[in-house]
Amino acid sequence: MEVGAFGLAANVGVALLFALSFAAIAITDPGERAARRFAVAYLIGMMTPICELLVSYTGYPAFFSILGYASFLAATLLSAHCIARFNHRHSPHRLLALMFVGGMVVRLAIHDGPRNWLPYELAYQAPFALAMLVSAWGASQARPRRLLTTVLTVDLTVMAIHFPLKALAAVWLGSGETERDYVASNYAVLSQASTGLLLTSVGLILLLLVHEASVLRSRSEANSDPLTGLDNRRGLFARLAPILADADRDGMPVQVVLFDLDAFKAINDRFGHAEGDRVIAGFGAILRAHLPQGAVAARMGGEEFAVMVPGITLDSGWRLAERIRHAAERAGGSGIAFTVSGGVATRAPGMAIEPVLARADAALYGAKAQGRNRVVRASTEPERAAAIMTLDRTG
């Protein structure tokens, strides 16, 4: 077997390895669509070295030569689409489709042209160079810009430049008199080694980016409530640590507000759980709309919510809670009517958060006991807070 054939076989293995790696991410994290797209792109690209081998070792060199060219062009253009979508940018899919059609027209037009002639070789490589430039442009649109995406942009640009350089190398070294002679040429060794090396580096960067995105998304899902988009209890406590540290450093209080939807069980019983979920999601939207800068909100579970606001007084925290309560009351006019009760407590610098939550919880159920649809400030006296906690918590 010629040396060039070993390079082609190695590139088949590399492409398959990347395809399987992206597929593994897609299987373990079905929500990571980018992994599926890149797996498909690498599977299509894998057909190119396979076809190049079949050109030399079957009786259909023309067919497999065109098929190999089409598969590599399709894979590079699909990668450009995948990179744009991965970066949450609009994919120029119509342009990419036109580039594929145009590239195939050029390839068919030069099919019987003289090999190792510079215009022929440049025309052969030009569609790949343009596809890589589009990919580089898509990579450059990543926000925020990071080292990996910058390296990816540079790598793709280098790939775009390397294709016309391959045309020069083909003229200099010779790519064989016919398509069947390609694998035996010195150019085949150089071509497969350089393209394989660059594609491997691009693949590794993409694999790192997709894996990182999958991990971050999984972590975000673990810390967020899917119904409201707010943090869940775990997410809230994860975000609280730096907030409390900053408040302690600056000697600032943190207001803790707990909300509970009034008579929520009755809403579920009367209108059904689907409507109850809409009420919960609607209140989550109200919280997001009224949060001041630096505040965090979370759904603690069921129909209970928490808001943490650093740097304001107890009275200011109560007024904020009242605005939220009024907004919830008004929201009932466009759908199912509902109200909320709230409790506000102050965390002084250096204080543990658990007893503050307990006092806010006591104030909340004090509001329930006083008739609901109101916000109560927490007592600063632990004995009184403990007494309020014994009130009836129904509704």
pLDDT tens readout for residues 104-119:
999 999 998 999 999 9
In tens, the pLDDT along 201-227 reads: 999 999 999 999 998 888 877 889 999
> Is the overall model pTM greater than 0.85, yes or no?
no
In tens, the pLDDT along 254-263 reads: 999 999 999 9
User: Strand, coil or helix: what is 299?
Assistant: strand
Please tell me the predicted confidence (pLDDT) of residue 380.
61
Cα separation of 339 and 263, whole Å? 8
Cα separation of 100 and 131, whole Å? 9
Cα separation of 285 and 287, whole Å? 5
CA-CA distances (angstroms) from residue 56 to 16, 61, 69, 215, 371?
21, 7, 15, 44, 86
Q: Does the pLDDT at position 287 exceed 50? A: yes
Does residue 379 or residue 270 have the better pLDDT? 270
Cα separation of 367 and 392, whole Å? 11
In tens, the pLDDT along 153-197 reads: 999 999 999 999 999 999 999 999 898 999 889 999 999 999 999
Q: Which amino acid is at 174?
A: G
- Mean residue pLDDT of the chain comes to 91
Does residue 395 or residue 77 have the better pLDDT? 77
Q: Does the pLDDT at position 385 exceed 80? A: no
Please tell me the predicted confidence (pLDDT) of residue 393.
40
In tens, the pLDDT along 330-359 reads: 986 557 889 999 999 999 999 999 999 999
Question: Residue 71's pLDDT band (boundaries 50, 70, 90)?
Answer: very high
Please tell me the predicted confidence (pLDDT) of residue 233.
93
Please tell me the predicted confidence (pLDDT) of residue 311.
94
Does residue 94 or residue 144 have the better pLDDT? 94
102, containing H or E segment: helix 93-109
Percent of the chain predicted with pLDDT > 70: 94
List of residues 6+ apart from 138 with CB closer than 8 A: 80, 83, 84, 87, 89, 91
Instruction: Map tokens 């929500």 to a residue.
Output: 31
Please tell me the predicted confidence (pLDDT) of residue 387.
38
Question: Residue 231's pLDDT band (boundaries 50, 70, 90)?
Answer: very high
Query: E strands along the chain, which residues?
Result: 254-261, 296-301, 304-310, 340-347, 375-377
Q: Does the pLDDT at position 1 exceed 80? A: no
Cα separation of 258 and 346, whole Å? 12
In CATH, what is the architecture of 233-388? 2-Layer Sandwich (3.30)
CATH classification for the domain delimited by 3-222, as one of 3.40.50.2300, 3.40.50.20, 1.20.1070.10, 3.20.20.70: 1.20.1070.10
List of residues 6+ apart from 387 with CB closer than 8 A: none
Q: Does the pLDDT at position 386 exceed 60? A: no
Percent of the chain predicted with pLDDT > 90: 83
User: Strand, coil or helix: what is 304?
Assistant: strand
Structure tokens at 334: 């466009």
User: Average pLDDT, stretch 355-364?
Assistant: 96
Domain boundaries, given as residue ranges, for the chain: 3-222, 233-388
Please tell me the predicted confidence (pLDDT) of residue 18.
97
CA 131 to chain CA centroid, Å, is: 24
